[in-house]
Amino acid sequence: MDHFASTTCCFGITRDPASGLRVYAPHGFDDLFGMVLRPNPVLAPREVYEAKARRWQAEWPRLVVEPWPER
């Protein structure tokens, strides 16, 4: 999950028998609930991020797509 193409996608919920639900969101919730797609350049290739961004923006026109960082 940490290697997904967007930091916004690095989010998960699992059931923990001892404590109920367990949330994993290493980049927080702001982008998720703000509909901001931000690249995760750690391991994801640029082409994968940009293809997903095009597809998701067609599905959710309000989605704000942050560009891949130029380094």
Residue by residue, DSSP assigns 2-69 as TTSSBGGG--EEEEETTTEEEEE-TT-SHHHHHTEE-B-TTTS-HHHHHHHHHHHHHH-TT-EEPPPP
What's the predicted TM-score (pTM) here?
Answer: 0.80
pLDDT tens digits along 8-64:
888 899 998 888 999 999 999 999 999 999 998 776 788 999 999 999 999 999 999
Tell whether the torsion through CA atoms of 9, 2, 25 and 40 is positive or negative. negative
Residue 39's Cβ-side half-sphere holds a number of Cα atoms within 13 Å equal to: 18
Q: For residue 50, what are its two tokens?
A: 């940009």
